[in-house]
Every structure is written in structure tokens, then in C-alpha cells.
Amino acid sequence: MSKRALITGVTGQDGSYLAEHLLAQGYEVWGLIRGQANPRKSRVSRLVSELSFVDGDLMDQASLVSALDRIQPDEVYNLGAISFVPMSWQQAELVSEVNGVGVLRMLEAIRMVSGLNASSSARSDRIRLYQASSSEMFGKVTETPQRETTRFHPRSPYGVAKAYGHFITRNYRESFGMYGVSGILFNHESPRRGAEFVTRKISLAVAQIKLGLQDKLALGNLDATRDWGFAGDYVKAMHLMLQQDEPGDYVIGTGVMHSVRDAVQIAFDTVGLNWQDYVVIDPELVRPAEVETLCADSSMARSALDWSPTVKFEELMQMMVESDLQQASREREYGDLLLAGRW
Ligand code: NDP
Ligand code: GDR
């Protein structure tokens, strides 16, 4: 019998890649969808047509219990979150509810549906949980590169909420014998990345500038450095984590750091333009408390999971720029045809 997986956050970047990966492994895949008419549902069903959907929201405990009851999944991937860090200073309470307490709601739903209680001595594998933890938990770093044992010092309400989700997952593992793991994933990108994140903001702008549809790109801190990888590689690590005999938490990243300035340079180089002619600094885009630098030590995942990244940063930025250029060219062609009355 094929395994069954439930993904929260299925309409997001990682959700769509993970759904594709699990379907390719022979899984039956369900996505939790929130909202009455979620506009991203049709986008993800176009990308991943064999996907099934169930209604639910991490803000609504009963909806999680009823989704688990109905689907009886073997594996739950909790990717749902408000994932844009600056939003967490604007709506700190909501972000804490979804990204922090939302994890507790999912753990409680699994506990109820699996019949686990505090006297459960043996570990329960009935429903395995993957929790999407983040390198933002490291924040103001105390050692470089960061590994599983590096101390957390989150710098945003987002990072604080993710740290809660991380520890409560570990606590349910220790308290109830639940099979729950957290992947501490560093930044990962793709042509499906949301337009608000810096790499996609850059690739979209470069495509528009190349086609003469935009003339400036406003950015914040160009000196911030990140360990950026390809989302398609990272969802494979999520799956591998849930296949281990013993549950554990793993750092996932490339171990290579680049600055936002490097990202800009590679993206503009891809289309033969000089970035200094187009990029302007907008102080409004600088964060109240910045995470200046992040770099992963994934040696544990590399040896225990046999996982390694396959896409280098330069290739990743080029892939994103080329995808956005193709898309923008198609849209411009369509616009020209409309204007010429030939559509
Ligand atoms: P996205 O922002 O692309 O997707 C977020 C998803 O969360 C969307 O599907 C959204 O659904 C869903 N969501 C938002 N609020 C709720 C809610 N109340 N209940 C249920 N679902 C909700 O994020 P990514 O795919 O990039 O990231 C996936 C996860 O991994 C997130 O938890 C993120 O914080 C974490 N992460 C991401 C990293 C990265 O570099 N991408 C690195 C480390 C961690 P909707 O369509 O309804 O808005
Ligand atoms: P991050 O990603 O906050 O690391 O969180 P983002 O791409 O938003 O920022 C990366 C760095 O770029 C700097 N920066 C800008 N960022 C944005 N968005 N827009 C700008 O104009 C800009 N200019 C400079 C930022 O200051 C920052 O230092 C992502 C999300 O996916 C989280 O959900 C996830 O947990 C972490 O990665 C790991």
C-alpha cells in the first residue's frame, strides 16, 4: 500500500516541490488548504495535478483534527507559516499564533488522533511529523558555521515563533514518544519563490529591466550574507528525515555564503547589464534587527541522511533570472498582441 502524506503550506514554494517529490515516490499526497477561495489553490493544482485537498487552518485546532481523522496520514509535513520575516514586526501576534502556537495545534491534533498520552512509554510512529524550522532561529550568530547545537538568538518575532515551534516539537517527542523532527533549513529559493523575498525580487526586476519595463530596483541591506540553496534539493531532505529509524533534528544548507550584493551582481551579469546603473538603496527596507550572516554546517545530514545539495548559487540565480525573463517575454508578447487587436 502506498504511504499517505499531508502537507500544510502546500500552496507555497516548498509545498509544491515537496508534493511533486512525494508523488514521484509513490505517495498519496494531500494538501491542507485555508480560506474560502484561496487563489493559490488553482496555481498549485496546475503545477501538481494529482494532489488532493482538505480544508484547514493552523489557527483552527478542530480543522486539523478533522483533516487528520479523515486522511489518516503516515506523514505530516508542517510547512504552513507566515514566512516573510518583515511581516513579523507588523503582525507579531498573528505570526506567533500561526508559526508558533500553530505547531502546538498540529502536535495536539496528532496526539489526539494517535491516542497518545503522557503515560505512553514507547515511541509512536503512527503519524510522523516534519516541522519546518529555520536558520532564522540562530539570528545573531554565536558560532560560524551553524550546526544543530549552535545556540539560538532569534532577531525577529518570526524567528522567536519558529524557535517555539522547534522546541515544542522536541518536547512532544520527549513527553509523548511522538515521532517529530525539525529541519533547520537555511534559505532556499527557486523560480517559485514568493516575489517579496530578495532573490526573486532581484530576478523579477532584472527581467523587467532587461525588457525595458522597469528602470530601478530598490533594495535594503546589500551586505547581509546568506547560505542560499535550491528548494528542489531541500524538500528531499525533509522526506529523508522522516525515513530514519530514530527521530532527530538536522541543519540543511550548502555551507557556502554569499551577500545580497553577490546575488545582484550575478543576476545582472546573466543579462549583460551593470547592476550599479539600476540598484538604489531604500533605508525603509532595512530591518529593525538584522540577521547579518548565516552559514550552515550540514555535516550531520550529509552523513546520516546521505543528503547533499546539487545546485550552486550562481546556477540558482541564473535559473531564476532565465525563468522570469521567459515569463516576462511571454507576457509582453501577449500584451503586444492585445494592443494590436490580434488576440
Ligand atoms: P511560503 O511563504 O511560500 O508558503 C507558506 C505557506 O504557508 C503557504 O502555503 C500558506 O498558504 C501557508 N499558510 C500561511 N498561513 C497559514 C495558516 N494559518 N494555516 C495553514 N497554512 C498557512 O513559504 P516556503 O514554502 O518558502 O516555506 C515553507 C516553510 O518553511 C515555512 O514554514 C517557512 O517559514 C519555512 N522555511 C522556509 C525557508 C525558505 O528559505 N523558503 C527556510 C526555512 C524555513 P496560503 O496560500 O493559504 O497563504
Ligand atoms: P530571509 O529572506 O529574511 O532570510 O528569510 P529574504 O530574502 O527576505 O531576506 C534575505 C536578506 O536580504 C536582505 N535584503 C532584502 N530582503 C528583502 N526581502 N527585500 C529587500 O529589498 C532586501 N534588501 C536586502 C534582508 O535584509 C535579509 O538580510 C527567508 C524566509 O524564507 C524565511 O521564512 C526563512 O525562515 C529564512 O529565509 C531562512
Domain boundaries, the chain: 4-190+228-252, 198-225+256-293+312-339
pLDDT exceeds 70 at position 84: yes
Q: Give residue 262 CA to ligand 2 midpoint distance, Å.
A: 14
Q: Considering the domain 198-225+256-293+312-339 in this protein, what is its CATH number?
A: 3.90.25.10
Question: ω into residue 86 within 30 of 0, thus cis?
Answer: no
Question: Is ipTM beyond 0.85?
Answer: yes
Q: Is 83 in the pocket of ligand 2 (CB under 6 A)?
A: yes
Residues with catalytic roles: 134, 136, 158
d(CA 226, CA 258): 6
d(CA 91, CA 99): 12
Beta bridge pairs of residue 252? 185
Q: Residue 160: name the closest of 76, 230, 96 by CA.
A: 96
pLDDT computed for residue 1 by the predictor: 82
Residue 136 φ then ψ, to 5°: -60, -20
* Orientation angle between helical segments 102-114 and 157-176, nearest 10 degrees: 20
Quick check: helix, strand or coil at residue 133?
A: strand
Q: Which residue's CA is the closest to the ligand 2 atom numbered 8?
A: 197
pLDDT exceeds 70 at position 147: yes
Q: Give residue 198 CA to ligand 2 midpoint distance, Å.
A: 6
User: Residue 233: nearest ligand to its CA?
Assistant: 1
228, 188 in Cβ contact below 8 A? Answer: yes
Q: Which residue's CA is the closest to the ligand 2 atom numbered 9?
A: 198
Q: Which residue's CA is the closest to the ligand 2 atom numbered 5?
A: 85
Beta bridge pairs of residue 181? 130
Q: Is 134 in the pocket of ligand 1 (CB under 6 A)?
A: yes
d(CA 178, CA 170): 9
Query: What average pLDDT does this structure show over 39-67?
Result: 96
Q: Is 221 in the pocket of ligand 2 (CB under 6 A)?
A: yes
pLDDT exceeds 70 at position 122: no
Cα dist from 328 to 20, 29, 54, 166, 203, whole Å = 25, 32, 33, 39, 11
Task: Please identify, by atom number, the ligand 1 atom nearest to the C-alpha of residue 14.
Answer: 25
Q: Is 83 in the pocket of ligand 1 (CB under 6 A)?
A: yes
d(CA 15, CA 130): 12
Fold matches, 4-190+228-252 and 198-225+256-293+312-339? no
Beta bridge pairs of residue 31? 7, 53
Q: What is the pLDDT of residues 246-293, one digit of tens each?
A: 999 999 999 999 999 999 999 999 999 999 999 999 999 999 999 999
Give the fold, CATH level 3, of 4-190+228-252.
Answer: Rossmann fold (3.40.50)
